[in-house]
């Protein structure tokens, strides 16, 4: 696949922003690593009593502000559970300055109080049959139910404390007070209930101070713009050959 230059990426973001009527934001991808070990949630049912943890290092954004973090399920449709629990089952999300290389360490790392959880948006993905009316941990209007305590690694599988994204589903977190200290590194930790092989990817949105935060629909459109431009570049290079 063709690799996009910074100018091409900026053009794609600009295209999507113009179409959606919001100021252009900068999108930076996240790469997650599955950490060793599991967090014991205290649930006694066979093999559902553990949470796996993924870590991603946020890119150095200098004096820019973190606006949003978007996570997307990339699980194989045959991985994990089915119905309301299809896709990545997100137990918790934590942003920290502490680097940890195992699940128990991620649990003990001091988290920054920066997530505006009530404004979290969920874009549910597909379900493996038998299907349910909505994803586990989602509310009736497609948002996240308060029972999904995403600030704590406390999920009880089939009980409470997490939200399932569905296959290809996304969740978008708004952040506040997120200009990092100069030279500091930030690490994002996310939990996967059950440790059953689901995977995830993500992006961070950054901007200079006082620019508006994009709406969930704008976020999706920005990524669509990037995908569209990537396809155009690929076809253009293939034609040249």
Mean pLDDT (the chain) is: 76
C-alpha closest to that of 212 among 22, 5, 42, 29: 22
Check whether residue 43 and residue 133 sit in a common domain. yes
Check whether residue 112 and residue 231 sit in a common domain. no
Check whether residue 57 and residue 14 sit in a common domain. no
> 21-35, 128-142, 167-181, 226-240: which has the minimum mean pLDDT?
226-240
Check whether residue 169 and residue 181 sit in a common domain. yes
Location of structure tokens 């704008």 = 218
Check whether residue 156 and residue 74 sit in a common domain. yes
pLDDT: is 26 or 119 the higher one? 119
Check whether residue 107 and residue 138 sit in a common domain. yes
Tokens of residue 134, six digits: 């909505």
pLDDT for 227 beyond 50: no
- Give 69's contacts (C-beta < 8 A, 6+ positions apart): 30, 93, 95, 172, 173, 175, 188, 202, 203, 204, 205
CA distance 114 to 130: 37
Mean pLDDT score, 102-111: 94
> 132-141, 146-155, 231-240: which has the minimum mean pLDDT?
231-240
CA distance 57 to 85: 27
Tokens of residue 48, six digits: 């559902």
pLDDT tens string 57-106 = 998 877 678 889 999 999 988 888 899 999 999 999 999 999 999 999 99
Tokens of residue 204, six digits: 């961070």
Q: Is residue 221 within 8 Å of residue 13, measured between CB atoms? A: no
What is the band of 238 on the pLDDT scale with cuts at 50, 70, 90? very low
Check whether residue 143 and residue 227 sit in a common domain. no
Check whether residue 158 and residue 222 sit in a common domain. no
State whether residue 91 is helix, strand or coil: strand
Check whether residue 62 and residue 43 sit in a common domain. yes
Tokens of residue 76, six digits: 């194989």
C-alpha closest to that of 92 among 12, 190, 204: 190
Check whether residue 147 and residue 225 sit in a common domain. no
Check whether residue 47 and residue 1 sit in a common domain. no
CA distance 8 to 233: 9
How many distinct structural domains can be found in the chain?
Answer: 2
Mean pLDDT score, 196-221: 68
pLDDT of residue 65: 80
What is the band of 38 on the pLDDT scale with cuts at 50, 70, 90? confident
Check whether residue 72 and residue 37 sit in a common domain. yes
What is the band of 18 on the pLDDT scale with cuts at 50, 70, 90? very low
Q: Provide the domain limits for residue 241.
A: 1-25+214-241
Helices (H) and strands (E) in the chain, counts: 3, 11
CA distance 200 to 34: 10
Mean pLDDT score, 224-240: 38
């Amino acid at each position: 696949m063709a690799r996009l230059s910074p100018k091409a990426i900026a053009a794609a973001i600009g295209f999507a922003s113009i179409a959606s009527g919001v100021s252009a934001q900068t999108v930076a991808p996240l790469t997650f690593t599955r950490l060793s070990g599991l967090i014991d949630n205290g649930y006694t049912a066979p093999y559902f009593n553990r949470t796996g943890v993924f870590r991603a290092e946020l890119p150095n954004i200098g004096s820019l502000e973190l606006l949003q973090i978007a996570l997307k399920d990339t699980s194989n449709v045959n991985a994990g559970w089915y119905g309301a629990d299809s896709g990545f089952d997100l137990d918790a999300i934590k942003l920290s300055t502490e680097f940890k290389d195992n699940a128990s360490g991620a649990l003990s790392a001091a988290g920054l109080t920066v997530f505006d959880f009530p404004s979290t948006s969920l874009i549910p993905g597909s379900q493996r049959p038998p299907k349910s009316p909505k994803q586990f941990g989602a509310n009736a209007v497609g948002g996240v139910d308060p029972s999904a305590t995403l600030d704590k690694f406390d999920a009880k599988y089939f009980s409470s404390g997490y939200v399932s994204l569905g296959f290809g589903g996304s969740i978008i977190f708004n952040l506040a007070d997120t200009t990092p200290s100069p030279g500091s590194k930030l690490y994002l930790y996310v939990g996967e209930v059950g440790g059953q092989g689901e995977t995830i990817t993500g992006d961070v949105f950054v901007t200079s101070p006082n620019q508006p935060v994009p709406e969930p629909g704008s976020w999706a459109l920005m990524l669509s713009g990037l995908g569209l431009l990537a396809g155009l570049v690929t076809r253009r290079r293939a034609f040249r050959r």
